[in-house]
Structure 1
Amino acid sequence: MDYLKSLASIYYIGIGCGLCSKEEVIEWADMVIEAVDNPPIELLDISMMSKSKIDDVERKLFELCLIQDEENFVKLVLSLILEKIKQEQLPIGKAIRITTRLLVYTGLSWESEYYDLYSFDDSYDLAIGGVVQNLPAEVEQEFVEELGAFQKYFNEFKEMYYIVLRQETIK
């Protein structure tokens, strides 16, 4: 398995749905460039794209990525969303919107495994507007519980990440 291309795929999907910023992708590219002997030219290009549009960075990531099993990459991205929520790096309301974008972006929004996650966007908006009986905090709790099913994929992401960066231990 080409872990670098798999990670590029995760960052490509992440930047497309709004989970990753352009700066995060450039920072990742810089770390990989330092860690590997012969970095791909696409990573070198990404590293120098601080003044470029996010769409240009996304296109360059696409050139590098290898999306063979998009659904598995979606599961990995969902695990990253959950991890960012746990580390308080991502507000739950924003995570709900990112998850919806992710599922629409990848065409999985109507699949039975993901439909409940997809529907949280409407539930959250209705709770915030006071249209439904649920409080926003209740919807947020249910969302995090639903995302919990994807927690097991985070170790796969960490393993790829540390292999690519050639770090000996997985934290």
Structure 2
Amino acid sequence: MEDIKLKAELYRLALSCGFITKKDVINWADNEIMISENPDISIIELSLSGSKKAEDIISKLKEVSVGVDQEISLKILLGLFYKEIIKDPNKIQVISTELYHLYLSLQIDNKEECYLWMMYLDDEFHLANNGIYGDVEEVKSRYIDFLKQYEKYAIDFPG
């Protein structure tokens, strides 16, 4: 069950910031039902949530993931973002915005340095893109350097 809780938290974070869709969550839940002899009722409810709003699905995922270390989940997601940027460097600004939204949605008392970096780098992109301060390529380089430290946490996802 711990593996399902961790995956539910990853799906919650990823859906919260727009990295994945409701359909990805439903596909995951369907797969979990198929491979489990006795699937949890919450997973069945997720599987049947196609007509629900994303916020409702996020809420259900939070119920499933109770007790999971959110910081570890975030590190995994940051590693996944790093892999995504390496595959397609053009996604870096979209991912920056997704991470900023994730930063705003997380409810952690002590937001560590990585949380502050997520906010800071998105602001840097905004300033550089508008010609106010900095160079976009330098910001991209710092962003990739920041995410690289989380590469070791990445897992196969969605899945």
TM-score scaled by length of structure 2: 0.86
Report the AA paired with residue 95 of structure 1. I
How far apart, CA to CA, are the structure 2 residues paired with 1:83 and 1:120? 18
Q: Does 1:35 align with 2:3?
A: no
Q: Does 1:26 align with 2:23?
A: no
2:56 is aligned to 56
Cα distance, 1:16 vs structure 2: 1.8
Cα distance, 1:89 vs structure 2: 9.3
1:15 is aligned to 15
How far apart, CA to CA, are the structure 2 residues paired with 1:89 and 1:31? 30
* Secondary structure in 2 matching 1:115: helix
How far apart, CA to CA, are the structure 2 residues paired with 1:63 and 1:110? 22
Q: Does 1:104 align with 2:115?
A: no
1:127 is aligned to 128
Cα distance, 1:90 vs structure 2: 7.6
* Secondary structure in 2 matching 1:19: coil
* Secondary structure in 1 matching 2:149: helix
Identity of aligned residues (%): 27
The answer on whether the counterparts of 1:6 and 1:67 sit within 8 Å (CA) in structure 2 is no
1:74 is aligned to 74
Report the AA paired with residue 12 of structure 2. Y
**How many correspondences in the alignment?**
158
* Secondary structure in 2 matching 1:91: helix
**Could you say if the C-alpha distance between residues 30 and 68 of structure 1 is closer, same or farther in structure 2, counting changes exceeding 3 Å?**
closer
**Could you say if the C-alpha distance between residues 16 and 133 of structure 1 is closer, same or farther in structure 2, counting changes exceeding 3 Å?**
closer
Unaligned runs of 5+ in 2: none
* 1:51-70 residue CA offsets vs partner (Å, 9 max, x unmatched): 21111111111221133321
How far apart, CA to CA, are the structure 2 residues paired with 1:121 and 1:111? 16
Cα distance, 1:119 vs structure 2: 0.3
**Could you say if the C-alpha distance between residues 107 and 58 of structure 1 is closer, same or farther in structure 2, counting changes exceeding 3 Å?**
closer
Report the AA paired with residue 120 of structure 2. S
2:118 is aligned to 117
